[in-house]
């Protein structure tokens, strides 16, 4: 399954694919820009995600920072899978988890 952006009620819901790697970060970047440019709060669904590389983590982190600087929220839809949290810690970006919490998670 590929990345998907759905809009409802002034917000954006981004469904992540199983593998979120350098192969799809350009598309993910475009979706984040689209939602942020439209001044939409963002929910990210990691339910199907089993792989997340450093380039994806970096992009997600920057999207949280940018949205927060504009007063927008970025939240995880549902529960953040343990695998995803572990990936953040492994690449040294534990602050990403704290960024999500401070932005509405």
Q: Is the pLDDT of residue 28 over 50?
A: yes
> If pLDDT is split at 50, 70 and 90, which confidence band does 57 have?
confident
Q: Is the pLDDT of residue 96 over 90?
A: no
Q: Is the pLDDT of residue 104 over 50?
A: no
Q: Mean pLDDT, the chain, as a whole number?
A: 82
Angle of the 82-90 helix axis to the 94-102 helix axis, nearest 10: 120
Q: Is the pLDDT of residue 1 over 90?
A: no
Q: CB within 8 A of 1, min separation 6: which ones?
A: 15, 17, 18, 48
In the chain the domains, ranked by start, together with CATH numbers, are 4-98 (3.30.750.24)
């Amino acid at each position: 399954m590929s990345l998907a952006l759905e809009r409802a009620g002034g917000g954006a819901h981004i469904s992540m694919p199983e593998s979120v790697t350098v192969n799809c970060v350009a598309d993910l970047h475009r979706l984040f820009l689209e939602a942020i440019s439209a001044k939409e709060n963002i929910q990210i669904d990691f339910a199907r995600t089993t792989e997340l590389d450093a380039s994806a983590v970096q992009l997600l982190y920057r999207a949280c920072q940018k949205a927060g600087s504009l007063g927008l929220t970025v939240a995880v839809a549902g529960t953040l899978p343990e695998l995803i949290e572990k990936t953040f810690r492994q690449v040294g970006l534990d602050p990403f988890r704290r960024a999500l919490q401070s932005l509405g998670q």
